[in-house]
């Protein structure tokens, strides 16, 4: 089975105890990926399609991914990469993404203007 990242918008509400199960959160892809609910905004990616040949197999495999929560180490890794604006993934993914030049934005205080 391919390495499936479990980074879904349902995770933070689960961790914050806003919902008891992923499908209780309205703004998640869980409905489409795990339950087969049609959603025009969800387009299956290669990693998801590799979870199984038949849609029912993919749905079941996707549900399995949510049976355990992300560990504190995994969350720390995610947060660290986000804070450093670095790609989190395989070496191949990092090599493909990180050399792309990006503009770094800095906030500066507004200039003081006397009237």
Rg (CA), the chain: 19
Query: Is residue 109 a part of any domain in this protein?
Result: no
Question: Would residue 111 count as lying in a domain?
Answer: no
Expressed as residue numbers, the domain containing 67 is 7-91
* Domain presence at residue 1: no
Gap between the Cα atoms of 2 and 27, Å rounded? 25
Count up the domains in the chain and report the number: 1
Residue 16: inside a domain: yes
Contact 9, 29 (CB under 8 A): yes
pLDDT the model gives residue 62: 92
- Residue 34: the pLDDT is 92
Q: Does 100 map to a domain?
A: no
Amino acid 10: pLDDT: 57
Residue 60 included in any domain: yes
What pLDDT is attached to residue 2?
42
Neighbours of 28 (CB within 10 A): 20
**Alpha carbon distance 46, 2 (integer Å):** 10
CB 48 within 8 A of CB 35: no
pLDDT for position 48: 92
Question: For residue 54, is it within any domain?
Answer: yes
Q: What is the pLDDT of residue 72?
A: 84
E strand or H helix at 73, and its extent? helix 72-83
For residue 114, the 8-state DSSP code is: -
The verdict on residue 98 lying in a domain is: no
Tokens of 4: 């499936």
14 contacts: CB under 8 Å, gap ≥ 6: 21, 22, 25, 69
pLDDT score for 4: 45
Q: What is the pLDDT along the chain (115 residues), one digit of tens a residue?
A: 444 445 555 567 777 778 888 788 888 888 999 999 999 999 998 999 999 999 999 999 999 988 877 788 888 888 888 888 888 888 888 888 766 565 665 656 666 666 5
């Amino acid at each position: 089975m391919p390495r499936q990242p479990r980074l879904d918008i349902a995770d933070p509400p689960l961790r914050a105890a806003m919902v008891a199960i992923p499908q209780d959160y309205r703004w998640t892809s869980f409905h489409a990926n795990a339950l087969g609910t049609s959603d025009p905004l969800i387009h299956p990616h290669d990693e998801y399609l590799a979870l199984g040949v038949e849609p029912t197999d993919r749905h079941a495999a996707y549900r399995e991914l949510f049976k355990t929560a992300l560990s504190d180490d995994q969350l720390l890794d995610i947060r660290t990469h986000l804070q450093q604006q670095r790609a989190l993934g395989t070496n191949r993914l990092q090599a493909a993404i990180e050399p792309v030049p990006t503009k770094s934005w800095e906030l500066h205080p507004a200039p003081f203007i006397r009237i």
